[in-house]
């Protein structure tokens, strides 16, 4: 949080059928539907999140990610980061408060990989869902399905990940936590954090622009990862891989697809980091193990992305 | 235990290199090396087992299973079951006490699938390894690797599984617990038990004789299954599939290979059964889900067996 | 199952207020309410049980256990065991089919400790709750609260536990699995099984007749024991002790009270046994550790029982 | 990390017998002995920590905590925080580099509760123990006992916790994450963080100066908490309470004592926080539940502290 960027704040995901998507994200994954807006977008969040929402579903003709946003410490920080981004040479779009319901103004820029990122400082705080701020119980009894606790990070595919790394670390104060490098030093994957988490945002180099690999949600335990896998079978939801462990971050994970083909991850555990931690490096020849620690090879689906 | 067959007593596995095999079964899987004999065979067991051994490794030119044995209640039961097997029309071989070190006489027969099975009543009892019979601690601090607790069952491939089913249920008093059936009623997999466990022995129909799919060992928890997977990666041990859950029995599992190509399983949890429980039936068209509950499809390796 | 006794079949528990009791056993513990009878009794079961019910709640002025029953293999076994009990000198009461709804005739006797036990062979089988016998899912999505999977055993307090041991082992074919003994060999606790479980019924010697310590229900994991503890807090349910581990059986456990003061246990894991396993012995001076493995001392409530 | 304080860096604990203490912290808890100095002090760390040490054991006539230190972002931050502390009116002691082996200079101050705190920016980085920075495995195979992963926080007892709160939040940039308050608003417990963790340092108000309640170490799972409890029994180590869950932070925990009477905690899980999260408040009348979520009452030992 060197420059005041706190955490992933929200992601807007395009879905082909809103009702099916809500069934997936709310009934199956356990996100809480918090609101809808007059554009028909649906706002959801994990039960541990204090802000009103972290996932926005928008019905569209094509799946994928519209944008991902980070919440910053306060409005002054937002102004100063906006200036830093402008000074860096990026063109910014300011979206007014209310453009996303109950969210303050957002500063949007396009990363060198073509992805749209936002910063914002203000969003209505509705508190954790189902537990109080006063003498809080351990968890809400009414959570559904996988009981995803929070929107955690995104993994994106794109070409100029060096450009992205430069902006996130040098302008936004992120830390490069883990990387996959080729023998010549070329980075093919970068995991970056603005917190103790091993990744708040990650990129894999692919010769494409603005591709969405997955949005990831945190679970409380490896047992919850198992039950998530069980629920995928019970609901005939397409699975990608897992339960397994990642080499990168060492989190335990399962990948699957929403009805529109967007990949979702639920995961648990994983390493932590601090600003003085050395970068963890994986050799490109060990990419299989870096991604899927047990199988030690990529499945054929791993390179599949949605627009 | 309707007819006095208590449990899987031991399995003799052929390995190409004994030293490598011991490293695999003892250092990695955590079985305890208990003894060796003058033929060079190595005797091992899981730490919770009271008998002296449950796994015998024999160096040979070809991997596979020599035989699997069941322990029966006592010598009188052994005699009466031997008579029942003879009456059924099977030819028996009696192996004298001491043929396996510290094991009593064994009655061996060849099943219609070509597999060699044994019954025995007597084996030296060395007690659980690392814990006492008096004020026992919860587990031994010195167990290694995966800390496999016991030899649990085998899954075998063969042609005449109807013949096998008839012998195990009608002569030996096993119960058919789960089955996979084709629309015409043809059984393609049978899971049989002589206990509360969902399988003490299982068969899948394949047009072959005397094939060994895997020997399976019990772990205490799903977390131990995860750590088993981790250890496979740390030791560069070939993995087949997992961590995952089976549909059949619902146990959580990981499959991998010993240095000779024999498949091993470690698993945890799973359903229980009693003699009055109805048979659980899986439709053949759901075979993928029955075997690998999360992936819902067989991997290409599943049909691979060793001689 | 040497003599054909399969498992604990049901327990009838007296409760002071039926509605509150149902809330406790169904909403909190997750037993399934299956039926009521014209005496107002409520019938429940754990979701993995195939018989129609395993817990019967009867409203009464005083809490405690009316009787506990074991299911035997078949009606012929019931007749032969009844004869064995009579030959032993016990007076039997035969309760007709239908006395408990959808349950066959029951043979009842009073143990030397004053407890009432029953044997029966027939009960309507409704199958596992929420999962099918055909291509069964891993677990039912609608289970509530602690998701108790089955009625597992009872622990009872009484004086003549030697008399009880004699009947259960020599007449009913149970096995003495674990015991706590004083230096002079006097047994102060006995854990007996008719299966691979370490206890289907257990007694602690106390100078009293017909006392009920607890009925116990099985959970799938140590994590479920944690969540059970959480639910006790969320519902302001009086806790006795736990989460912790027992020394005896090494199961992980939590004890708590129903609204009438009956003690309940939910537990997970634990050792297994076979007929040829030596008896596990705990020295009386280690009773604290034998009961509560972590605390290594009895809490003051442990000796409290309901009538 | 608003002001550059990153994390708890080390704690120096007084022990009555060094050899016994090393056995406790290294063999039982699994901390790694990293070095000793010519004063005879022993330096240890958890295996996930990148700095050379986080626990220093000093033999003395009386148990307790000498001081606790926080690592700050860099030497410039150290200077600026030192100035801020001086400006606040605190007297500082500067300890030269090398006073603790392989640790840079430390700025020490005495908090209003009498506790000694330090800040430092530099310490030799030896990297995680047993895993590499290049293609790291998930965990080291040689970790011992409880496998404590890191020194996590301390809980201290003292009188002027309002004074402490003022310094930690307003001077050092910590966040008040959770508190226990009396009806009149008087705080009786404060949990403060400089990170996403719910506590890097915590205080309970007691009419005493400079008292040490416990040092806490992080475990990877609730299952590891169980095994920690098991190890306490196996080693006859005095237990305080647990396994259980805290209300405050909702972490799962076990408290026990080192051979000198210092209380140790190992814990797992627990909530996370961000700078914009509202303070979680527990009412003093719920203190029992706030501390021990399952028992909902303090045990008599809770108020016991060492000097």
- List pLDDT tens digits, range A68-107: 999 999 999 999 999 999 999 999 999 999 999 999 999 9
**Pick from B139, B221, B231: CB nearest D223:** B221
pLDDT digits (tens, 9 = 90+) for D125-155: 999 999 999 999 999 999 999 999 999 999 9
pLDDT digits (tens, 9 = 90+) for D229-271: 999 999 999 999 999 999 999 999 999 999 999 999 999 999 9
**A45 inside 8 A of chain B by CB:** no
Angle between helical axes of B222-234 and A222-234 (0-180°, round to 10)? 100
Residues of A in contact with C231 (CB under 8 A): 141
**Pick from B223, B233, B245: CB nearest A293:** B233
Instruction: List the single best residue of A294, A297, A300, A301 to mutate versus B (max B Cβ within 10 A).
Output: A294
Instruction: List the single best residue of B146, B223, B227, B229 to mutate versus D (max D Cβ within 10 A).
Output: B223
Residue C36: count of CB within 10 angstroms of its CB: 14
Q: Which residue of D has its CA nearest to B135?
A: D234
Average pLDDT, chain C: 97
Residues of C in contact with D229 (CB under 8 A): 244-245, 293-294
* 8 Å CB contact of B271 and C48: yes
pLDDT at B1: 74
Has residue D307 got a pLDDT over 70? no
Could you give the 3-state DSSP secondary structure of residue B44? strand
Average pLDDT, chain D: 97
Interface chains of chain C (3 or more CB pairs under 8 Å): A, B, D
pLDDT digits (tens, 9 = 90+) for B102-150: 999 999 999 999 999 999 999 999 999 999 999 999 999 999 999 999 9
pLDDT at B300: 78
Catalytic residue among B43, B115, B214, B293: B214
Q: Got the DSSP string for chain C?
A: -TTSEEEEEEEEEEES-HHHHHIIIIIIT-PEEEEE-TT--EEEE-TT--BS-SEEEEE-SS-EEEEEEEEES-HHHHHHHHHHHHHHT---EEEPTTSSTTB--EEEEE-TTS-EEEEES-B-B--SSSS-SBS--SS-TT--TT---EEEEEEEEES-HHHHHHIIIIIT--EEEEEEE-TTS-EEEEEEESSSBS-SEEEEE-SSSSEEEEEEEE-S-HHHHHHHHHHHHHTTPPEEEEEEE-SSTT-EEEEEE-TTS-EEEEEE---B--TTSPPEEEEGGGHHHHHSTTT-S--GGGG--B-
* pTM (predicted TM-score): 0.98
- Cβ contacts of D205 within 8 Å, gap of 6 or more: D157, D158, D159, D161, D187, D188, D189
Residues of A in contact with C234 (CB under 8 A): 137-138, 141
**C246 inside 8 A of chain B by CB:** no
Q: Which residue of D has its CA nearest to B229?
A: D138
With a pLDDT cut of 70, the percent of chain A lying above it is: 100
**D277 inside 8 A of chain A by CB:** yes
Instruction: List the single best residue of C225, C233, C236 to mutate versus D (max D Cβ within 10 A).
Output: C233
- B62 an active-site residue? no
Cα end-to-end distance, chain A, whole Å: 30
pLDDT at D305: 78
**Pick from D141, D223, D233: CB nearest B223:** D223
Please report the ipTM that was assigned to this predicted complex.
0.97
Is B199 within 8 Å of B249 (Cβ atoms)? yes
pLDDT digits (tens, 9 = 90+) for C142-188: 999 999 999 999 999 999 999 999 999 999 999 999 999 999 999 99
Catalytic residue among C43, C157, C255, C293: C255
* 8 Å CB contact of A141 and C234: yes
Q: Which residue of D has its CA nearest to C288?
A: D233
**C226 inside 8 A of chain D by CB:** yes
Q: Which residue has the tokens 């119980």?
A: A137
Alpha-carbon distance of A226 to A232, in angstroms, equals 10
Q: Which residue of C has its CA nearest to B246?
A: C138
Backbone phi and psi for residue B2, each to the nearest 5 degrees, phi listed first: -60, -35
Could you give the 3-state DSSP secondary structure of residue A99? coil
Distance from CA of B198 to the nearest CA of A (A): 19
* 8 Å CB contact of C294 and D233: yes
Distances (CA, A) of C305 to C162, C203, C287, C301: 20, 13, 18, 9
pLDDT digits (tens, 9 = 90+) for D1-43: 789 999 999 999 999 999 999 999 999 999 999 999 999 999 9
* 8 Å CB contact of A245 and B230: yes
Q: Of the candidates B243, B250, B113, B120, which has an alpha carbon nearest to the alpha carbon of residue B177?
A: B250
Q: Of the candidates A176, A296, A177, which has an alpha carbon nearest to the alpha carbon of residue A246?
A: A296
pLDDT digits (tens, 9 = 90+) for D91-111: 999 999 999 999 999 999 999
**Pick from A136, A245, A278: CB nearest D133:** A278
**D235 inside 8 A of chain B by CB:** no
With a pLDDT cut of 90, the percent of chain B lying above it is: 96
- B265 an active-site residue? yes
Alpha-carbon distance of B105 to B99, in angstroms, equals 8
Report which secondary-structure segment, H or E, holds D257: strand D252-257
Q: Which residue of C has its CA nearest to D286?
A: C233
pLDDT at C197: 96
Has residue B303 got a pLDDT over 90? no
Distance from CA of C228 to the nearest CA of D (A): 10
pLDDT at D304: 79
**A229 inside 8 A of chain B by CB:** yes
* 8 Å CB contact of C138 and B250: yes
The CA-based angle D142-D143-D147, given to 5 degrees, is: 165
pLDDT at B270: 96
Distance from CA of A28 to the nearest CA of B (A): 15
* 8 Å CB contact of B275 and C197: no
Residues of D marked as catalytic: 153, 199, 214, 246, 255, 265
Q: What is the mean pLDDT of residues A128-156?
A: 98
Catalytic residue among C10, C153, C178, C293: C153
- B246 an active-site residue? yes
**Pick from C7, C136, C279: CB nearest B280:** C136
Residues of B in contact with C6 (CB under 8 A): 274-276
Ranges of H-type helices in chain B: 18-22, 75-88, 161-166, 222-234, 287-291
pLDDT at A301: 83
Could you give the 3-state DSSP secondary structure of residue D225? helix
pLDDT at C307: 63
Residues of D in contact with B231 (CB under 8 A): 141
pLDDT at C302: 83
Q: What is the mean pLDDT of residues A154-170?
A: 98
Task: Please list the ranges in chain C whose pLDDT falls under 70.
Answer: 307
Residues of A in contact with D135 (CB under 8 A): 247, 281-283, 286, 289-290
Q: Which residue has the tokens 């997970």?
A: C268
Report which secondary-structure segment, H or E, holds A5: strand A5-15
Residues of A marked as catalytic: 153, 199, 214, 246, 255, 265
Angle between helical axes of C222-234 and D222-234 (0-180°, round to 10)? 100
Distance from CA of D226 to the nearest CA of B (A): 11
pLDDT at C228: 98
Has residue A161 got a pLDDT over 80? yes
Band (pLDDT 50/70/90 cuts) for residue A302 is confident
pLDDT at B301: 82
Is the preceding peptide bond at A243 cis, omega within 30 degrees of 0?
Answer: yes
pLDDT digits (tens, 9 = 90+) for B178-198: 999 999 999 999 999 999 999
**B199 inside 8 A of chain C by CB:** no
* 8 Å CB contact of D133 and A281: yes
Q: What is the mean pLDDT of residues B284-305?
A: 90
Backbone phi and psi for residue A123, each to the nearest 5 degrees, phi listed first: -150, 145
Q: Which residue has the tokens 């910590």?
A: D174
């Amino acid at each position: 949080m060197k420059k005041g960027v706190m955490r992933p704040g929200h992601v807007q995901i395009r879905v082909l059928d809103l009702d099916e998507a809500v069934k997936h994200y709310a009934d199956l994954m356990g996100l809480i539907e918090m609101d809808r807006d007059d554009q028909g977008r649906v706002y959801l969040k994990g039960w541990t999140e204090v802000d009103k929402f972290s996932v926005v579903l928008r019905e569209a003709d094509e799946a994928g990610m519209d944008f991902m946003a980070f919440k910053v410490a306060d409005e002054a920080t937002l102004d100063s980061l906006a200036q830093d981004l402008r000074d860096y040479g990026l063109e910014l779009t300011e979206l007014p408060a209310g453009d996303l319901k109950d969210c303050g103004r957002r500063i949007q820029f396009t990363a060198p990989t073509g992805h749209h990122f936002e910063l914002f400082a203000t969003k209505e705080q509705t508190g954790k869902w189902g537990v109080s701020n006063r003498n809080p119980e351990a968890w809400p009894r009414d959570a559904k399905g996988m009981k995803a606790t929070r929107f955690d990070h995104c993994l994106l595919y794109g070409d100029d990940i060096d450009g992205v790394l430069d902006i996130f670390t040098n302008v936004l104060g992120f830390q490069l936590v883990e990387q996959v490098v080729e023998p010549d030093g070329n980075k093919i994957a970068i995991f970056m954090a603005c917190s103790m988490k091993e990744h708040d945002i990650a990129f894999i180099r692919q010769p494409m622009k603005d591709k969405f690999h997955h949005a990831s949600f945190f679970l409380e335990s490896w047992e919850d990862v198992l039950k998530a896998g069980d629920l995928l079978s019970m609901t005939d939801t397409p699975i990608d891989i897992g339960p397994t462990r990642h080499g990168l971050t060492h989190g335990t994970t399962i990948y699957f697809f929403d009805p529109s083909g967007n990949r979702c991850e639920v995961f648990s555990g994983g390493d932590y980091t601090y600003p003085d931690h050395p970068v963890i490096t994986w050799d490109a020849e060990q990419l299989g193990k870096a991604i899927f620690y047990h199988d030690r090879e990529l499945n054929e689906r791993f390179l599949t992305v949605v627009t």
